Amino acid sequence: MAYEISCAILIVIVHHKSTILALHLSFSIGVFWSKH
């Protein structure tokens, strides 16, 4: 039970970080293109 919960938490954390990274990358690309 605890193993499943910790796995679910880990998946959420990894997914959350990758979502933040994707948003940051798309924002950086948008700023880069708006400057050109």
Say what the pLDDT of residue 36 is. 75
Note the helical H segments in the chain. 2-35
Say what the pLDDT of residue 13 is. 92
SS3 of 1, please? coil
For 1-36, write each residue's pLDDT tens digit: 799 999 999 999 998 999 999 999 999 999 888 987
Q: Which two tokens stand for residue 27?
A: 């924002």
DSSP-assigned letter for residue 36: -
Residue with tokens 């990894």: 14
Total-model pTM: 0.53
Say what the pLDDT of residue 35 is. 84
